[in-house]
Amino acid sequence: MTSIKLGDTAPNFQAESSVGTIDFYNYLGNSWGILFSHPADYTPVCTTELGMTAKLQSEFDNRNTKVLALSVDKVEDHQNWIKDINETQMTCVQFPIIADDDLAISKLYDFIHPKASTTATVRSLLIIDPNKTIRLMITYPASTGRNFDEIIRVLDSLQLVDTYTIATPVNWKVGDVVIIPAGISTEDARRLYPKGLIEIKPYLRYTPNPDK
């Protein structure tokens, strides 16, 4: 079984889905991607998660991010489940739900954890950048739904640090101050960060959010 790690290239795959046959790389194109797995169709926690993902579609669109869900059931099951999701969560699911009844993609992405189940995927989520590099991995227990505020927060942070030479501190959100990397001297920092800096320690320095 493949062991996927941060910084690895996300493997490509072709699969049937609720919106037809897709090639993962072609689907993502030059966008960011979120791939998240679910233990099974018609499960209550997953129903709420997919509903929330659909409600946040415009937020993902604004961040040039495409989402895909995966469950170890067939396309027909996915399509019928989507009807339930739309009804109970008062939304409209438009993103693909991948059919993985042979577990091929789940094994490729290490979504099967034998100590949890040998046949059902764990509740994992990956953020993948436009270079197809895995930038975030989160795995939740089956009983706990994902926090989508946190997922969007991390996505915002990753996109910001890819644009500017900064890091984001604890509980950071868009608009907050950011951290100057420790490898940059204070002398260089005064030149590189025209909005100014606040030095708490030589290794702990803040500067205003550079894109606000």
In terms of Cβ atoms closer than 10 Å to its own Cβ (0-12, 13-18, 19+), residue 157 is: buried
Map out the domains of the chain with their CATH numbers.
14-146 (3.40.30.10), 164-207 (3.30.1020.10)
Active site residue 46: yes
When pLDDT is cut at 50, 70 and 90, the band that residue 118 belongs to is very low
Check whether 57 has a pLDDT greater than 60: yes
What gap in Å lies between CA 95 and CA 40, rounded to an integer?
17
Whether the model clears a pTM of 0.85, i.e. scores above it, the answer is yes
Give the closest residue to 3 by CA, choosing from 124, 100, 117, 119. 124
Kindly name the residue from 15, 35, 46, 155 that is annotated as catalytic.
46
Mean pLDDT of the chain: 92
Convert the pLDDT of each residue in 133-160 to its tens digit: 999 999 988 788 999 999 999 999 999 9
Convert the pLDDT of each residue in 158-202 to its tens digit: 999 999 999 999 999 999 999 999 999 999 999 999 999 999 999
